[in-house]
Structure 1
Amino acid sequence: MAKAKKQVSFEDALWSSCDKLRGTVEPAEYKHVVLSLIFLKFVNDKFNDRKEELKAEGKEKYIDMQEFYEMKNVFFVPEESRWSYIMENAKQTDIALKIDTALNTIEKQNPTLKGALPDNYYSRLGIDVSKLAALLDEINNIQTTADKENDIMGRVYEYFLTKFALQEGKGKGEFYTPKTVVNLIAEMIEPYKGKIYDPCCGSGGMFVQSLKFVENHAGSTKDISVYGQEGTSTTYKMAKMNLAIRGIPCDLGEKAANTFTNDLHKDLRADFIMANPPFNQKDWREENELTQDSRWDGYVVPPTSNANYGWILHMVSKLSQNGVAGFLLANGALSGEGQELEIRKQLIENNLIEAIVILPRNLFYTTDISVTLWILNKNKKARMVQQNGKMRKFRAREDEVLFMDLRQMGSPYEKKYVELTQEERNKVTGTFHNWQNDNNDYQNVPEFCYSAKKSEIVEKGYTLVPSRYIEFVNHDETADFDTTMKTLQTELTDLLKQEEESKKELLNVFKDLGYEIKL
């Protein structure tokens, strides 16, 4: 009996085809080869759909007029950029040049794509024609606009970003934050209406998930405006493509730029900030650089050795009067000394810190350490807020901080990783919102959450390590597991060095005796 053929999703089929490029394309370039072609196919499908729509409306004479596409937020595709033309020439020796021309022309024809697409990219790579043709054939099978109810193109794009982050592993993939982490931030700060900002936006995932959150809660994405900045040119291009695919208008500035030394949104005051800055970034400014920057007004200048508090103060400076920020940092920022301690004291005294949430290990593709979600709020006073069409009353929590520990949560994902399930996120956000609301539903829960008074935080030396406040029944409440692990790793490294030195000494002894021995 013949064995049934395993059904493979179109994402997996496409990934398998793309994987054949390995050996002809450097791994660092791999994602750009794929995503630019997927983008080109998508804009062509949208263009063709609009063209057929115009014909059905009896407006055939307008099918070559750009304004009739732009009025429906559809990119106009010139003849030399059309997918049908690319596929007709897919096996020609100059196909790489034709793809470059197609991308360049479509960008020039549509000003909102300025800076989004690669320039003379495929010609420089020198990809084998047969492999590039096979990749084009796979992409050609994706009907990107066939399912009007589901975000097929977004699904493909997100799938590939996830795959690239998984493949590139530790130290790479900084352009992507796992979806469940972004969802948790959105569900906690609830960005229903106003300006959303991400100072290190990567591939734009924060924006995508926050707008999905608004749609899922019967809000209107027309009430949201998006601002961001990204320092890496290739990642900046990915973000512009990612947002364009979903029809999300955004202001990412005219180019990729360093947020600290070239702030592209100096006058912005955001209602919501969502960010995942680089962890523990060293030498982020020169010793005498940015010492008088207005972003540090009222605070100590952040140390050059670590950018964590530079990112915090940058975001504080961008918040509107009622602004809320949700961002991720390495756990070390919770208890740093020196300048970091002085800044942390001021943040606490200024009543800006609303919640500190320790996340599980292995959530991220770039690091296996546990990291922290910080929630800052410029207005922790009692007030009424309209959200999701309803008025919600906030308690006055000016002198309190909610600490949460999620390290016992997380469901296995892709063997090496974990993800926060919807049920787990509901538990976290429900607890947080009950704590915010003017009701009596919130209670401290051992090994999970604790609402600390400012006086308690001051008494403990302004540390924000949750285990210093949350009650642990069967554990040492003062234990800092990440620091302990680092200490053990350091001890192991020292032992290995000692062993290596012992080997060298032994070899020298034999050498003095006239023996040449190799270990």
Structure 2
Amino acid sequence: MITSEEIKRRLWDGANELRGSMDASRYKDYMLGLMFYKFLSDKTLDTFKNSANLNGLTEEELVEEYKKAREKHDKALDMTIQNILGYYVVPEYLYQTWIADINSGDFEVQKVTDSLHNFERSIATGTGSDDFKGLFSSSTIDLTDTALGSNLNERSKNIQALILLFADLNMVSLQKGDVLGDAYEYLIGQFAMESGKKAGEFYTPRQVSEVMAQIVAKSSKIESIYDPTVGSGSLLLTVGKHLDSDTQKNLNYYGQEKNTATYNLTRMNLLLHGVRPEKMTIKNGDTLSHDWPEDPKRPNEGVQFDAVVMNPPYSVKNWNRSDLKISDPRFEIAGVLPPDGKGDFAFLLHGL
């Protein structure tokens, strides 16, 4: 069994070798996005295996059985898997199918694009549609980006190399031992160090997360936690780890993130760490401009949470571009708006 440290070292070495001159803050979207899609494919196959009681098969044999069952049962099989997971990946678009195409010399970049788009469409009418909507949008994972290669042939080679980096990793087994979540967090941290100033957009240093998590964990009862500048979700997850197992199972995670690519990363990170879709509510938006979440039973009043944590962008300039007024419930208690160059005060009042 491959160890956590071996996986971390292998994946980061692979990232450095494959990304070339691409900025780390950009390459992370491709690498972490495709790693997450491998997780979705592995979870789909594992759920099919357990539902059909097909233990003992190789992965190739399991894929073939899945294809046959899909041809026979069609949408009924899709719904069975979706009812269990909240999503599904059809055989034609499995990560394993990409690998088979690479090995046979039939790989096409368009197949990857089609797979990501098909996943979006397949969950559009499902109960968990909001949890997966836009995860693989072209604004986040653009496989036509010339930074991946100046021509289609170069891009194809680079994408194939990235796909093969995860080929032999069983994401389901790794998730059960917390190895997958640890590796994902490690990669986010490594990309953050390589990204310089841009790191603050998606990553809270572990030391900072640990201090806040230990403080929050001293509270007597926590059923909901909110991060208005959620980034990659690492702060929420760190707090969760410091709670007892029963509290973790019932914990509801809330967050809002302005940057769309980072918002997608948040949802991937939570799901990879085993957070159920119904236990997470993450929104894409500017927290200061759009006061979310509001209590539907009390208009213009914010929802109350058992804990609020955040690592906001400090001293952000011109934070009040939406021309908010003192009458805003968040600032009314102070009787004054924070200065334009002190956005951290605005975030503090929002959290209170």
Q: Which amino acid aligns with 1:259?
A: T
- How many angstroms apart in 1 are the aligned matches of 2:256 and 2:342? 20
- Asked if 1:16 is matched to 2:19, the reply is no
Runs of 5+ unmatched residues, structure 1: 1-7, 317-519
Question: Residues 297 and 291 of structure 1: is their aligned pair in 2 closer, same or farther, counting only changes over 3 Å?
Answer: closer
- How many angstroms apart in 2 are the aligned matches of 1:9 and 1:15? 10
Question: Residues 133 and 24 of structure 1: is their aligned pair in 2 closer, same or farther, counting only changes over 3 Å?
Answer: farther
Match of 2:22 in 1: 25
Indicate conservation of the 8 Å contact 1:197/1:227, yes or no: yes
2:329 corresponds, among 290, 294, 316, to: 294
Match of 1:187 in 2: 214
Indicate conservation of the 8 Å contact 2:253/2:281, yes or no: yes
Describe how 1:71-150 pairs up with structure 2 within 5 A. 71-73=83-85, 75-90=87-102, 95-110=108-123, 111=129, 112-119=131-138, 121-126=141-146, 127=148, 128=154, 129-147=156-174, 149-150=176-177
SS at structure 1 position matched to 2:172: coil
Paired residues, number: 306
| Structure 1, 77-86 or 122-131: larger mean CA deviation | 122-131
- Asked if 1:281 is matched to 2:311, the reply is no
Match of 1:506 in 2: none
SS at structure 1 position matched to 2:307: strand
SS at structure 1 position matched to 2:85: coil
SS at structure 2 position matched to 1:226: strand
- How many angstroms apart in 2 are the aligned matches of 1:166 and 1:79? 37
1:306 corresponds, among 342, 347, 350, to: 342
Report how far residue 186 of structure 1 moved: 1.7
When you count helix as a share of all residues, which structure comes out higher? 2
Q: Which amino acid aligns with 2:144?
A: R
- How many angstroms apart in 2 are the aligned matches of 1:247 and 1:74? 13
Give the TM-score normalised by the residue count of structure 2: 0.78
Question: Residues 95 and 178 of structure 1: is their aligned pair in 2 closer, same or farther, counting only changes over 3 Å?
Answer: farther
Match of 2:291 in 1: 263
Report how far residue 134 of structure 1 moved: 1.8
Give the TM-score normalised by the residue count of structure 1: 0.54
Report how far residue 94 of structure 1 moved: 6.3
- How many angstroms apart in 2 are the aligned matches of 1:16 and 1:84? 23
- How many angstroms apart in 1 are the aligned matches of 2:137 and 2:198? 24
SS at structure 1 position matched to 2:317: coil
Indicate conservation of the 8 Å contact 1:20/1:131, yes or no: no
RMSD: 2.7
Match of 1:401 in 2: none
Once the two structures are superposed, what CA deviation does each residue of 1:335-361 show, in whole Å capped at 9, x if it has no partner? xxxxxxxxxxxxxxxxxxxxxxxxxxx
Indicate conservation of the 8 Å contact 2:193/2:199, yes or no: no
Describe how 1:242-257 pairs up with structure 2 within 5 A. 242-248=269-275, 249-253=279-283, 256-257=284-285
Indicate conservation of the 8 Å contact 2:256/2:285, yes or no: yes
Indicate conservation of the 8 Å contact 1:99/1:122, yes or no: no
- How many angstroms apart in 2 are the aligned matches of 1:148 and 1:230? 25
When you count strand as a share of all residues, which structure comes out higher? 1
Q: Which amino acid aligns with 2:11?
A: L
- How many angstroms apart in 1 are the aligned matches of 2:322 and 2:172? 52
Match of 2:233 in 1: 204
Report how far residue 148 of structure 1 moved: 6.1
Larger Rg: 1
Larger RCO (CA under 8 A, 6+ residues apart): 2
Report how far residue 55 of structure 1 moved: 1.7
Report how far residue 31 of structure 1 moved: 0.3
- How many angstroms apart in 1 are the aligned matches of 2:173 and 2:323? 56
Once the two structures are superposed, what CA deviation does each residue of 1:267-320 show, in whole Å capped at 9, x if it has no partner? 21111001100111111114954343121112122111211211111111xxxx
Report how far residue 74 of structure 1 moved: 5.5
- How many angstroms apart in 2 are the aligned matches of 1:261 and 1:280? 16
Match of 1:53 in 2: 50
Indicate conservation of the 8 Å contact 2:192/2:198, yes or no: no
Indicate conservation of the 8 Å contact 1:118/1:237, yes or no: no
- Asked if 1:229 is matched to 2:256, the reply is yes
SS at structure 1 position matched to 2:19: coil
Runs of 5+ unmatched residues, structure 2: 56-65, 124-128, 149-153, 296-302
Report how far residue 21 of structure 1 moved: 2.7
Once the two structures are superposed, what CA deviation does each residue of 1:77-115 show, in whole Å capped at 9, x if it has no partner? 123320121112337686332222211211222213012
- How many angstroms apart in 2 are the aligned matches of 1:74 and 1:56? 20
Task: State the percentage of identical aligned residues.
Answer: 25
Once the two structures are superposed, what CA deviation does each residue of 1:176-218 show, in whole Å capped at 9, x if it has no partner? 112232122122122642221110100111221222222xx24
Q: Which amino acid aligns with 2:194?
A: Q
